[in-house]
Structure 1
């Protein structure tokens, strides 16, 4: 297992923005069930950052595929080109914290073949804590040339997730009470995919909102049953927070696949089995 540079610090980003090959910046602030974050973006964002709406631009219409199914690749490519994304320019994505939404954009860009995309560790809060400037200027990027080629990152469907739980490790990134089936505020039924292991995304971050070190993350995932060569899958409620878990695994040097439909897709079909309680089975 080798650690990667899927994330970067505010200081590293500041240096790259001042360098000869500055990255394209994408602001993906988002709150589950919360207000639209565009007004917050317009009030202040990293200079040059383009706002991306997760619900409308990083997901397809909600339905039988889940609450945040993957967007049509061509529609996603058009959004990225409008944001100035090119095939040969680095991309840095940030959100307001937790890394959920930023990781969704990161994963989609990786899945569709972009070679150089990273997440700002700690998001907007880390930038401002490091005395990073914010701007309220309107951003009009030059049209990019990025053309998506899906398949560059691992993707699971419901059958694949069930198989991963049997023949590998399937991590459930939701809060423990939802995994156990004690509460379910959004989806049709509470509980988890039989065999899945509870692994809340909150445990990937330190008290400052930044990711734990690669060594700490490796130790965490090893404690959840992930060993060298273990096939790993991740799901959550609708495929958003699970992307943050995939990112944490990447930081730890562990490859994993995303069940994008996640629990909202699994639980949509009443014939699929549901487990409850603290144990995987």
Structure 2
């Protein structure tokens, strides 16, 4: 995991955008949610000045068959082309945010770091902290930046492939970042089967946040994950429904000083392979 800072405050972002070196700061607005996947109307109603809208379904994922899950990674060439459209060049600082506690923008954070962008930060507390600070918003579409020149490669962060997940859950700690009722199999609003990967431990990623939507302090996160089983020498993996909020949990794990493996296909991929077992109830198996 990169040693670059993970979070940035609204005040620090405002200073970066208005001070020396502002031309090397790129801001991305990644508004998306399961029940309203097109976040562009909200973006156009008001966004951080200069922020480029990022379409999670189109630019941070690719379309594929259900056996790959709902949000498989885009090809690195597709992601590189999008990043250049956003104006990103090597050495830039990239700040990402959304209006939902960074549950969707974390996908951009993880994906850009995985592809080799070393300085990617989440606006801690998301757009709410910017507006609560009385900082300005811009409406409509931001002006397009000059094309960037960044070069990307999927080599930077560890991942779990479908064929690795069962053995990993047996030998290491696999966390399920979804809401607890989905983990238990009581509800399943999207995917073809309910339940969880056998051996996985329930760890809703929303519990990594305080009431203000900001991440808990690193010691509190370390203690949370220790109680879930993240002892010294134990590998940690994470999945969610489709690989979006798993990235949010990956942020929390990184803040806690851990190096998580993300199962990108997540439950949406596992559930579309009927030969794989599904566990239900509150316990891992």
If the TM-score is normalised by the length of the shorter chain, which range does it land in? over 0.9
1:26 to 17, 25, 28: 28
Change (3 A) 1:3 1:204: farther
Distance, in Å, in 1 between the alignment partners of 2:85 and 2:184 is 42
Aligned partner of 2:237 in structure 1 is: 233
In 2: Cα distance, 1:161 partner to 1:244 partner: 19
CA contact (8 A) 1:47 1:135 kept: yes
Find 2:131's aligned residue among 120, 128, 133: 128
Contact 1:82–1:143 at 8 Å: present in 2 too?
A: yes
* 1:168 lines up with 2:176 in the alignment: no
Partner of residue 260, structure 2: 256
SS at match of 2:68: coil
2:274 is equivalent to residue 270 of structure 1: yes
Question: Counterparts of 1:35-114 in structure 2 under 5 Å?
Answer: 35-63=37-65, 64-114=67-117
Paired positions, count: 281
Contact 2:37 2:57 in 1 (8 A): no
Deviation of 1:3 after TM superposition, in Å, equals 8.8
Displacement of 1:228 after TM fit? Answer: 2.1
Cα RMSD of the aligned pairs, angstroms, is 1.6
Q: State the 1:4 CA deviation.
A: 6.6
| Contact 2:98 2:126 survives alignment (8 Å) | yes
Structure 2: stretches of 5+ with no match in the other structure? none
Aligned counterpart in structure 2 of residue 193 of structure 1, from 191, 197, 220: 197
Between the aligned partners of 1:82 and 1:120, the Cα distance in structure 2 is 21
Q: Please state whether the residue corresponding to 1:39 is helix, strand or coil.
A: helix
Pairwise CA distance, 1:18 = 2.4
Give the TM-score normalised by the residue count of structure 2: 0.95
Query: Paired residue for 1:12?
Result: 12
What CA deviation, in whole Å up to 9, does each residue of 1:167-221 have, x standing for no partner?
A: 1100000011111111111111111101000000110110111111111111111
Aligned-partner SS, 2:84: helix
Consecutive unaligned residues of structure 1, counting only runs of 5 or more, are none
TM-score (norm 1): 0.96
